[in-house]
Structure 1
Amino acid sequence: MKLKALLAASLLACLAASGQDVHQFKDPSDDYRPWIFWDWINDMVTKKGITSDLEQFKKFGLSGTLIMLVGSETNDRQMWSDHHMPNPIISQTPAFFDAWKFAAQESARVGLTISSQCGPGWCHSGGPWVKPDQAVQHIAYTETKIAGTDRTVTLRVDDQPVGKAKAFHSAFSIDDLPVEVRIDLEQAVPVDAIYLHPFDNNDKKRFGMPAAFNITVAGKEDFSDSVTYTLRTGDAVPALFLKKNNKKIQHIRITTAGNYSVLREGKTQYLLALEEIVVMSGGRNVARNAAVHTSGSIEAFGYSAGAINDGFGMTLFNRVNDNTYILLRPGFDYYTSDIAIVAFPDKTQVSPAEVIDLTSKVQQGTITWKAPAGNWVIRRYAMRNALAYNRPPPVGGKGLECDKLDKLAVNAMFDSMVGRFIRESPQLAGNTIRAFEADSWEVGNPEWTVHFREEFIKRRGYDPAPWLITYKSDRVLGNEDLGKRFANDLYLTQTDLFAENFFSNLSGKADSLGMQFMTEPYTAPFDPVRMAGRVQVPMCEFWVSTERMHTARWAASAANTYGRKEVAAEAYTGRWNDGNWKMDPYAIKRVGDLAFCNGVNKMVLHGTALQPWGMDQKPGMNMFFWGTMFVPAQTWLQSGRAWTNYLSRCQYMLQQGRNVADVVGLLPTLDWEYTMPMGLHKKYNYDLVSEELLLNKMDVKDGYFTLPSGAKYRVLLLPETKGKMAPEMLRRIGYLLRKGGTIVCRDKPYHAPGLLNYQQNDSLVRQLTDELWGRMDGSTIVENKVGAGRLIWMKEVWKDEFDAERDYFLQTRTKGWEFWEEPAMTTRWSPAFMKLLKSVTPPDVEVLHASGKAMGWGGFPETAAGVRQGEDAVAWTHRLLGNTDIYFVSSQVATEQQAELMFRVKDKIPVIWDPETGKQYRCKEWAQEGDRIRVKIPFTPFGAVFILFQPAGNLPAGLYGMPEIKDSMPLNLAWDVRFPEGYGAPSQARLTAGSWSDSKEFGIKYFSGTATYQANINCTKKQLQSGVILSLGTVKNLAEVIINGSVVDTLWKPPYQSDISDFLRPGENSITLKITNTWWNRMVGDEQLPADLEWRENLRYAGNDFKGYELKEFPAWVWTNETRPSSKRVTFTPWRFVEKDSELLPAGLIGPVKLLFYER
């Protein structure tokens, strides 16, 4: 019995529960339709391409575009810069802004919205108009050491910077040794010292650090008189001090000396090297004007120089004589601004009272200071331009990232591009021009800004200047704990300014314009829920090659707790082994449904590139090897509207009412990573809440934790505190407990995190925890009654279990190279926590039975991995609209299944709303059992339904149960098949059901596109007394069904069945099928033909994964649309994923085809 048959027949007599709701569900308005990332690649922008793309997007069923300006994938070379396009439009020029204005006008004409990222590149918010003093700033220092003998010394506060912004950003690849950095000085000079500044060895970023460098110095260019030294890198800034009276040096070569740790980018290992080189001669840095040559760049590995530099300090050879020293300006001559000059004894542990602030003593560039006896260190602190650039920018779009901590800098950034878009089309702002977006944070972390010192004093209550000597330094002020407390206050101030001056500031601008600010606020040092809650549309991302939904959880939690309607997602992002022209809507359905279950309700498809030639080249431009290919010339784009209709219906339903969750976890403002489960959603749903909401907005009513957004929870989960918690947070926890809340802790704090009045605050923390924790020890006593509430100490709240299915998926599909480096684990609530939850409330959804064959991608048998069972076979989410409970339930298995679920609902009737068809029908098998309702749900492969529970009085009459199939008839037909002109296939052929790739005829074997099948069948009057379903068996990949000239529907997933009862007539009937496959087979077919394109091999592999080939140069014929040299070739795209011997995919109408009959 075919499940689709049962479903389809029962839909015929459905009536609406609410006319408006049913209409919106059947055909959602544009407000609920997906958007798409529209990548403008480099300067390959044309008005012809703009118009063509927008018209195709509208046909695809989209409602908006989000422009992303991208170019260089590697930052050291503009990819596809050799395109030879006539009249290219360079980013940020008047022609570019004219093209953007044209795009806005065309969007209005075709009925689409248009939005933009904040600046060029996919991250983040910068551009060529950002001035150095309004760019991301880091803390830097220089220092000098003096021997104080109670004498007066002169400190020259020199304006000469230590370094110069040069191409020192080099990296050594383990796979490609030897690699070198070479410095050629302007002239030969005696060298006193050579300082190397390696990139920070930050474990969170997984950057490696070489244990030693070889430094070779020479006077002659051919290095025939060279001497080599080995420099260990144990110091923060390794220094090679050369002997006095050494020979003059003009040429320096630097290589690694082995014994290194590594930077991991997937399975490929890189030895990270240098950011800056200083060559000191007579108190001068003679490398400032040197020629620097590097044979490798860290930017080639996907990191900008600014993204991996966290600030530095240097101890320089800079004594002029016994009484005069030079304090060189920290940082580059690009931009530096002094913070403070401090002196302290030259020892590891320094008393706070021993730090002397010399800043006020600077007079006309010098400090005259009577140094006390002993050895002293003088440090000159400054904020310096971090050289953080947007990435990857298009031609004309590269520039500095703006200072996110400074409102004026953020405003200037906004006004320079997005603001100009709006000023040039003010009548479209807020309607056609809908939003602006800041993508994920991938460009390093800001440390300081103008007025930071004043802001710090205002917020934290003390001056940070003396404490800077503990920041990223081997100096201890007072004791190590005090330095950590200062760092906490420093990070907290940075985070506060980020929230206020970037996120809230830009949200205010959006409000004033009637627009939306969207952001993916993660991979940065701030709490993503707090930051996402500050904007109109929190945003996340999910990839087709992973089940990781942690960013969706952050964005959805922000929406649920702060009261936002939409949760957007950069959706279906792919890479070389999944975004490679093999994918169709069914292949990516499961992961999209999983995102819906984790809170997403607005898909922004990722993505498509602007096609400068319109539809003349097929499939055309793509954004390198990233993204699922939703390009206008995608074979299935137009028939794929049936899929975007599905997404739109889901988005409509998932934007109704409010989210239902039982658990809320507190996400700390700092050190928030790994403090809460990221992918857990079993039996009970959960949200994360920011500290600011818990402190200021959360309350308890009738045993529920409540927020002004309407969110309600039964249990509050505290993070592992690692012993620290602010007194004000403990007071709030006590308040919530006394009002009747149930709170679970994982440890017991014993001190406050900050520095001001720390002894008093530590005492207060111990006092408060003694009151709240009572006699609990976490082992023998694990619960304490506080007022009307309960505090429960539970060491294990969730646990990771080995996941055999995921392990199979990682080992086979990704061939040992996993982009996210995620383990083969699944996460579950611990038994102890589950027991607690059940004592508070029954599970929201309990899977009584579910089982089916697992598959990473739909339709690809090589991703099959055994069986998923129980709660692993079903995903779900729950919303409440008035008195109606709305459950979205998704089958996560690739086979049909009869799942049985128990829902925490009573005294209501379940009705299924089918997002594939837009129709509603009554559940066939369900029963109320106590305070819950058990429902049996028939699922098609990777199927999904909405189950609405409504009071019986709200249901309409006329909803029928599911019928039974009583008979079937095979259709062993010979089909007349027509192929389109220009696709390399014969114009027509006579075919039976079967895969095109099995054909002996070249043009059919390698065909990609849409072929039209036609055949006639005869139906008797007796047969038509029954309902009739056309079952196509296996289809690769989509099928539009036309009966007697009338379009019935488009099928895009198994079981490929269509109810054709209302379209048949007695006697002869015409069946027409438009079958569409993917571009893959024709691309393989083209490789059998003579080549007419040249390809680079530099990015061919990632670990063991084949990534493909980059086009070397665009031929002239792509712009003129003339016949190409290899005239039988069909496809053109600038990134080639296939080889001549790549395996073909099944394609076409494979069958078996039959008619299924059911009783009307």
Structure 2
Amino acid sequence: MWMGANVSEKGITKDLEALKEEGFNSTTMLGLADITTPWANQIGKDPTPEIIAWTEPWWKLVQHAARESKRLNMTMGLFNGAGYATSGGVWITPEMSMQELCFSKKSISGGKDTQVIDLDRPNVNLKSNERFPVYDPQNGKVEIPKVPERKTYYKDIVVLAMPAKGVVNKLEIINLSLKMDTSGKLTWQAPKGDWIIYRFGHTTMGAKVQPAQWQATGFECDKMSQEAVDFHLDHVINEIKNHLGDMVGKTIDHVYFDSYEDNDPSWTPKMREQFSLRRGYDLYPYLAAFAGRIIEGKEQTSRFKEDFAETIEDLYHEVYFTTIAKKLKAANLKFFCEPYGGPWRSDDVLPNVTNVMGEFWTHDGVYAPYELEPVINSLRRYGQNILAAEAFTGQPRDSKWTETPAWLKSIGDEAFCVGVNKIMIHRFVQQPWDDKYLPGNTMGQWGTHFDRTQTWWKPAKAFVSYLQRCVGVLQWGHYVSKSIEDFSVAIGSSNMVVKSIHRADQNTDIYFVANVSHYSGQVNCNFNITGMQPELWDPVTGEMREITQFKEEDKHTIINLKFADSQSFFIVFRKKVEPVNSERLNFPSDRSLLDIDGPWEVKFDSKWGGPESVNFAALSDWTDNANKGIKYYSGTAVYSKSFNLADSIRKKREGGVYLDLGIVNCIAKVFINDKEIGVVWTAPWRIKVPVSQLKAVNQLEIEVSNVWANRLIGDEQEPADCEWLPGHQKGGEYLKEFPDWFLQNKPRPSAGRFCFTTWKYFDKKSDLIASGLLGPVRLVEEKF
């Protein structure tokens, strides 16, 4: 996310290098407003106000990003305009914008001489016909904006006269369009009786892209007009080609269309021709149905409205989606799209999309899909295998620099069980400033805060590896339809929630089985397979082993699986079972080898307010510490201690040796005798210790990282040195303007503050987040 004018070449390079190191190989860039509240807004005193999306200064930065992506062997895509909704820009004129049917009416009595009748031009509300409001900097209000073009742009469609009351027979409707002049004067000798004259026309809906910089905000294009869609796509593709040259189709490999966030249009200039072509009759006599009239009876009127809606669906498919697919393919660009929420049939449009995407959110820490199921169902009907997702999108109550990989895991696992098998993390914000300004730039109120400035960014590579393992396996083979016969689970009295998905190819079956709750326990899982040897693959550790304790019953294999909090496994059947008399358990029991307790030396980073070194007599939560530098600390602290290990313990082990950390808030990297042995980021909060690294006397170091929330709350105890304005939904405040001390690179006036960011979630009374290594820390032997 490039937030308005706040983008820099140095920041782009650091971002892409950090993403590459973390394990990512592709990005999609969107140019938004300075801040999203959630509506587009500007932060005052922008250091680089000349950077406006889709203008030359902005394109120079895009060129830099593309060159850096190429250097790093990464690919990159762009949104098809400014903002993230939906498709348009400042290049779209009112004529090519989304259109709205409108009408005026006049009652007259006939049976007289020829009359000259003034027909009013249809009057529409100047407020835009769009789904969401916007922030108006002129009056400081969030409201549906007034769009002058809804008054200045208008085209007539038809003038119809019909009996004033009752059900109207089509033969009674008279087309008077040729009798009205350009000023709206109608000359007509009406037959005897009471008549209503309708003047039908169309104007722009006024809907604009959002949430883009105000200078980059233009009309949404008419998605049912071949001319408008051609113009928009040609402009977008030509701009990309002109600025990115031979990298297009290689490094720059896709164009992205986010979820549809517009109201439905009710007209397009060629609607009459298109309707007649598809439905086989003229729509003009039926237009008064939109004025509340009954034409040819209720059944026929209802049928017309259905036909009209179906024509809109046809045009979105045949004009909008088909044109995008055709033009992007011709440019050697992939079509990434979240194809839902609009007036079309999923089954029609999904085959046009190269990379079909859904989305899921993190509402209250629980997986929350958004229109994902119909996308999955359509995708499976026509056999496409890959379902990508805008993943872990968060609201302020969930994502306020409090997210952790462990918290995200069960949410992602549930998405995997539904059918997601490609992850596009929402979101990563471009960080344009010096690294002393942390946690830095934000997407306003929106999370998840998956940025290189995160406290846990580097060790979270272990979480990214987990996601890679999962999607790698879940893209293999083909999906097997869910049924009780295929997989079931007997949970008993446990509060666990276990979900699954099944994939297969030839003689191999793979089940992803996930405990998506924060409870632990054992369950019996029934798999619709017999005669095959089950294996357990652990996507957290990469471990793969055979399961020895199982039974076959009623054409099912029954396996007792033991889950920790939010733990998941792949259960794999790929070879014939051979009778083996084994006492080996499916899951090991623990034998404690050593309690690593007593005092710990803990080193904090003084740059973030912590003491350089303190002794903890016993492990405890940082937030309970009397030292404010620890209480409000955010970042990484290093726990150190030595422990002795008797030869009898080192040399006489039956199973693997593990370091069990007990409770960790929130992620830990472990070193033994100066060698890294790995990262612990989720339950069961333990890591295997290589036997070769254990000595009689051992030095243990554990780098523990928490979240940014505590330091941000600690800063709120100090005098303010930035000005804030309330966000437009509950969930925080945004930076009013960049302070002078920041712009001039001077020491900040409030010396007790450490953090700088563009969105404020907390005040001085906000609850702190449990932090640090709480243990107990033990060396254990796992015995099967």
Normalising TM by the smaller chain, what interval?
A: over 0.9
| Contact 1:55–1:110 (Cα < 8 Å) also in 2 | yes
1:1001 corresponds, among 607, 624, 627, to: 627
Q: State the match for 2:771 in structure 1.
A: 1147
Q: Tell me, yes or no, if structure 1 residue 359 matches structure 2 residue 177.
A: yes
SS of the residue 1:101 aligns to: helix
Kindly provide the CA deviation profile for residues 453-475 of structure 1, in whole angstroms up to 9, marking residues without a partner as x.
Answer: 1111111000001101002x221
Q: State the match for 1:487 in structure 2.
A: 305
1:58, CA displacement in angstroms? Answer: 1.8
| Contact 1:921–1:961 (Cα < 8 Å) also in 2 | no
1:1049 corresponds, among 670, 673, 678, to: 678
1:902, CA displacement in angstroms? Answer: 0.6
Q: Tell me, yes or no, if structure 1 residue 1060 matches structure 2 residue 689.
A: yes
1:304, CA displacement in angstroms? Answer: 6.3
| Contact 1:913–1:948 (Cα < 8 Å) also in 2 | yes
Q: State the match for 2:404 in structure 1.
A: 584
Q: State the match for 1:846 in structure 2.
A: 488
Change beyond 3 A, Cα 1:1133–1:851: farther
1:935 corresponds, among 551, 554, 559, to: 559
| Aligned mates of 2:310, 2:510 — CA distance in 1 | 40
Change beyond 3 A, Cα 1:111–1:165: farther
1:400, CA displacement in angstroms? Answer: 0.2
Q: State the match for 1:133 in structure 2.
A: 95
Kindly provide the CA deviation profile for residues 755-779 of structure 1, in whole angstroms up to 9, marking residues without a partner as x.
Answer: xxxxxxxxxxxxxxxxxxxxxxxxx
2:473 corresponds, among 631, 653, 656, to: 653
1:561, CA displacement in angstroms? Answer: 2.0
Q: State the match for 2:436 in structure 1.
A: 616
Change beyond 3 A, Cα 1:1152–1:305: farther
Change beyond 3 A, Cα 1:415–1:1045: farther
Q: State the match for 1:380 in structure 2.
A: 199
Q: Tell me, yes or no, if structure 1 residue 468 matches structure 2 residue 287.
A: yes
Change beyond 3 A, Cα 1:984–1:75: closer
| Contact 1:558–1:564 (Cα < 8 Å) also in 2 | no
Amino acid at match of 1:1097: P
SS of the residue 1:1125 aligns to: coil
Q: State the match for 1:97 in structure 2.
A: 59
| Aligned mates of 2:733, 2:188 — CA distance in 1 | 64
1:900, CA displacement in angstroms? Answer: 1.1
Change beyond 3 A, Cα 1:929–1:387: same
Deviates more, 1:389-398 or 1:129-138: 389-398
1:542 corresponds, among 360, 363, 372, to: 360
2:643 corresponds, among 1017, 1023, 1028, to: 1017
| Aligned mates of 2:137, 2:156 — CA distance in 1 | 31
SS of the residue 2:770 aligns to: coil
Amino acid at match of 1:996: W
Change beyond 3 A, Cα 1:84–1:437: closer
Amino acid at match of 2:544: Q
Q: How does 1:629-778 map to 2 (within 5 A)?
A: 629-661=449-481, 684=483
SS of the residue 1:49 aligns to: helix
Q: Tell me, yes or no, if structure 1 residue 1156 matches structure 2 residue 780.
A: yes
Q: Tell me, yes or no, if structure 1 residue 67 matches structure 2 residue 56.
A: no
1:296, CA displacement in angstroms? Answer: 8.1
SS of the residue 1:994 aligns to: coil
| Contact 1:999–1:1005 (Cα < 8 Å) also in 2 | yes
1:604 corresponds, among 420, 424, 445, to: 424
| Aligned mates of 2:323, 2:493 — CA distance in 1 | 49
1:1120, CA displacement in angstroms? Answer: 4.5
| Aligned mates of 2:777, 2:726 — CA distance in 1 | 45
| Contact 2:346–2:374 (Cα < 8 Å) also in 1 | yes
1:526, CA displacement in angstroms? Answer: 2.6
TM-score (norm 1): 0.63
Amino acid at match of 2:627: E
SS of the residue 2:381 aligns to: helix
SS of the residue 2:766 aligns to: coil
Q: How does 1:333-482 map to 2 (within 5 A)?
A: 333-362=151-180, 367-471=186-290, 473-482=291-300
Kindly provide the CA deviation profile for residues 632-673 of structure 1, in whole angstroms up to 9, marking residues without a partner as x.
Answer: 2110111111001111111111111111115xxxxxxxxxxx
SS of the residue 1:588 aligns to: helix
Change beyond 3 A, Cα 1:81–1:414: farther
| Aligned mates of 1:891, 1:114 — CA distance in 2 | 34
| Aligned mates of 2:597, 2:39 — CA distance in 1 | 57
Q: Tell me, yes or no, if structure 1 residue 507 matches structure 2 residue 469.
A: no
| Contact 2:732–2:759 (Cα < 8 Å) also in 1 | yes
| Contact 1:851–1:893 (Cα < 8 Å) also in 2 | no
| Aligned mates of 1:145, 1:331 — CA distance in 2 | 28
Determine what percentage of the aligned residue pairs are the same residue. 31
SS of the residue 2:407 aligns to: coil
Q: State the match for 1:1134 in structure 2.
A: 758
Q: State the match for 1:978 in structure 2.
A: 603
- Structure 2: which 5+ runs fail to align? none
| Aligned mates of 1:555, 1:878 — CA distance in 2 | 18
Q: State the match for 2:335 in structure 1.
A: 517
| Aligned mates of 2:562, 2:624 — CA distance in 1 | 34
Q: Tell me, yes or no, if structure 1 residue 555 matches structure 2 residue 375.
A: yes
Q: State the match for 1:732 in structure 2.
A: none
1:525, CA displacement in angstroms? Answer: 3.0
Amino acid at match of 1:480: K
1:435, CA displacement in angstroms? Answer: 1.6
Q: How does 1:15-26 map to 2 (within 5 A)?
A: none
Q: State the match for 1:880 in structure 2.
A: 504
| Aligned mates of 1:57, 1:165 — CA distance in 2 | 47
| Contact 1:390–1:443 (Cα < 8 Å) also in 2 | no
Q: State the match for 1:17 in structure 2.
A: none
2:386 corresponds, among 543, 566, 589, to: 566
1:1089, CA displacement in angstroms? Answer: 1.7
Q: State the match for 1:1111 in structure 2.
A: 735
SS of the residue 1:587 aligns to: helix
Kindly provide the CA deviation profile for residues 791-834 of structure 1, in whole angstroms up to 9, marking residues without a partner as x.
Answer: xxxxxxxxxxxxxxxxxxxxxxxxxxxxxxxxxxxxxxxxxxxx
Kindly provide the CA deviation profile for residues 699-752 of structure 1, in whole angstroms up to 9, marking residues without a partner as x.
Answer: xxxxxxxxxxxxxxxxxxxxxxxxxxxxxxxxxxxxxxxxxxxxxxxxxxxxxx
| Contact 2:110–2:191 (Cα < 8 Å) also in 1 | yes
Change beyond 3 A, Cα 1:1056–1:923: same
| Contact 1:1043–1:1063 (Cα < 8 Å) also in 2 | no
SS of the residue 1:607 aligns to: coil
| Aligned mates of 1:986, 1:72 — CA distance in 2 | 36
Change beyond 3 A, Cα 1:901–1:433: same
1:112, CA displacement in angstroms? Answer: 2.4
TM-score (norm 2): 0.93
1:567, CA displacement in angstroms? Answer: 1.0
Q: State the match for 1:1073 in structure 2.
A: 702
Q: How does 1:196-215 map to 2 (within 5 A)?
A: none
SS of the residue 2:767 aligns to: coil
| Aligned mates of 1:45, 1:423 — CA distance in 2 | 21
1:615, CA displacement in angstroms? Answer: 2.5
1:81, CA displacement in angstroms? Answer: 2.9
SS of the residue 2:376 aligns to: helix
Q: How does 1:156-167 map to 2 (within 5 A)?
A: none
Q: How does 1:896-915 map to 2 (within 5 A)?
A: 896-915=520-539
Kindly provide the CA deviation profile for residues 396-419 of structure 1, in whole angstroms up to 9, marking residues without a partner as x.
Answer: 210000111123312222233354
1:578, CA displacement in angstroms? Answer: 0.6
| Contact 2:5–2:48 (Cα < 8 Å) also in 1 | no
Q: Tell me, yes or no, if structure 1 residue 1085 matches structure 2 residue 714.
A: yes
| Aligned mates of 1:1064, 1:88 — CA distance in 2 | 56
| Aligned mates of 1:1046, 1:342 — CA distance in 2 | 84
Q: Tell me, yes or no, if structure 1 residue 1097 matches structure 2 residue 723.
A: no
SS of the residue 1:453 aligns to: helix
- Structure 1: which 5+ runs fail to align? 1-38, 170-198, 206-264, 266-271, 273-291, 307-329, 663-683, 685-841, 853-866
Kindly provide the CA deviation profile for residues 1099-1152 of structure 1, in whole angstroms up to 9, marking residues without a partner as x.
Answer: 4x63xxxx1222222113334443211123111112111111112111111111
| Aligned mates of 2:677, 2:298 — CA distance in 1 | 73
| Contact 2:359–2:391 (Cα < 8 Å) also in 1 | yes
| Aligned mates of 1:475, 1:67 — CA distance in 2 | 48
Q: State the match for 1:230 in structure 2.
A: none
4+ residue segments displaced more than 6 Å: 72-77, 292-296, 953-956
